[in-house]
């Protein structure tokens, strides 16, 4: 039987929220890691998202590498029983956690164990047991840092002179998530720049001269952009006069239409982000980038 600790009516978060008035059930979710805990959070949130009206109260215990640190986590688990997920390389610490969870009669899962077993069976290799191996300061790590620096320097149309050094250039009207998408891409080692489409302001001429980067247009529905812009303007200047053109739906629709036309004329792929998360948008861009690079390599070998 599920052990939900509380429930309450969910409040509306915007015009697209269809769960108004529904009861949302909460449960404790404990994540114990000898590294950052990012893997656990990603997996647990993906799993929780599959259950309607269920919300996890997250307890994260990162960098648990000693018995003393683990015992503090176990004490909190005892005080707020719930599901326990863990990634612990040290077998002594892992066994201690599993034993404590059995005594508390709470479920406890090593989320990487099935993956490790498949790898060992298929590759016939020995597990190294290296804590935080995915966070090693290797060439890929420094490549991501370089990409992030590039992306921050080239946000919102800055320094257009070296756009050709980018891997991806995003264009779009205000509030189409260009900046957060670029940052997400940078964390994957992709140098991303973004250029805003502003009525009455020409795009930088360098955009016509670049050859290396993939250029992608981002659009959203006029209704969605209007809603985001209104919230942003009121948040910045709650008592001041609103920029009527900036939040006018007809003007926004014209901006979106101009972006669509420009991308069609120049053969740039276009992504509608109206109902997409940043991760989904970035995933499609990375797929387009792979195709773009493959075409470039094919052209060089001809």
Class (C level, CATH) for 6-123: alpha beta
pLDDT band at 9 (very low <50, low <70, confident <90, very high): very low
Reported as a single tens digit per residue, the pLDDT across 207-236 is 999 999 999 999 999 999 999 999 888 766
Other Cβ atoms within 10 Å of 27 Cβ, number = 19
For residue 56, report the phi and psi dihedrals to the nearest 5 degrees. Answer: -85, 135
pLDDT band at 301 (very low <50, low <70, confident <90, very high): low
Binding-site annotation: residue ranges for ADP: 172-179
CA distance 196 to 182: 13
Reported as a single tens digit per residue, the pLDDT across 123-151 is 887 766 666 555 555 677 788 899 999 99
Residue ranges covered by each domain of the chain: 6-123, 139-301
Considering the segment(s) 139-301 as one domain, its CATH architecture is 3-Layer(aba) Sandwich (3.40)
Give the predicted TM-score (pTM) of the model: 0.71
SS (H, E, C) 160-224: HHHHHHCCEEEEECCCCCHHHHHHHHHCCCCCEEEEECCCCCCCCHHHHCCCCCEEEEEECCHHH
List beta partners, residue 6: 26
Q: Are 182 and 229 in contact (CB under 8 A)?
A: no
For residue 276, report the phi and psi dihedrals to the nearest 5 degrees. Answer: -110, 145
| pLDDT recorded at residue 124 | 84
Binding-site annotation: residue ranges: 172-179
Reported as a single tens digit per residue, the pLDDT across 73-86 is 999 999 999 999 99
List beta partners, residue 168: 192, 214
């Amino acid at each position: 039987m599920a052990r939900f600790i509380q429930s309450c009516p969910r409040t509306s978060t915007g015009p697209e929220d269809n769960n108004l008035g529904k009861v949302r059930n909460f449960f404790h979710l404990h994540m114990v890691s000898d590294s950052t805990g990012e893997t656990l959070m990603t997996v647990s949130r993906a799993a929780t998202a599959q259950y309607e009206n269920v919300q996890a109260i997250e307890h994260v215990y990162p960098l648990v590498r000693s018995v003393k640190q683990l015992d503090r986590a176990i004490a909190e688990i005892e005080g707020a029983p719930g599901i326990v997920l863990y990634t612990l390389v040290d077998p002594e610490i892992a066994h201690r956690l599993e034993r404590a969870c059995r005594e508390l009669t709470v479920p406890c899962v090593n989320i990487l164990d099935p993956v490790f077993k498949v790898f060992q069976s298929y590759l016939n290799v020995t597990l190294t047991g290296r804590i935080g191996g995915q966070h090693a300061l290797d060439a890929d790590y420094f490549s991501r840092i370089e990409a992030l620096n590039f992306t921050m320097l080239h946000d919102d149309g800055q320094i257009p002179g070296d756009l050709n050094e980018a891997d991806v250039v995003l264009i779009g009207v205000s509030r189409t998530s260009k900046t957060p998408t670029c940052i997400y891409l940078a964390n994957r080692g992709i140098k991303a720049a973004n250029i805003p489409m502003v009525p009455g302001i020409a795009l930088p001429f360098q955009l016509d001269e670049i050859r290396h980067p993939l250029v992608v247009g981002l659009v959203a529905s006029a209704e969605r952009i209007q809603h985001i812009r209104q919230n942003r303007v009121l948040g910045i200047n709650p008592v001041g006069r609103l920029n009527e053109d900036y939040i006018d739906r007809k003007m926004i629709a014209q901006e979106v239409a101009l972006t669509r036309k420009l991308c069609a004329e120049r053969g740039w792929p276009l992504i509608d982000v109206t109902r997409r998360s940043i991760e989904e948008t970035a995933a499609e861009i990375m797929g387009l980038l792979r195709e773009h690079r493959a075409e470039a390599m094919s052209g060089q070998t001809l």
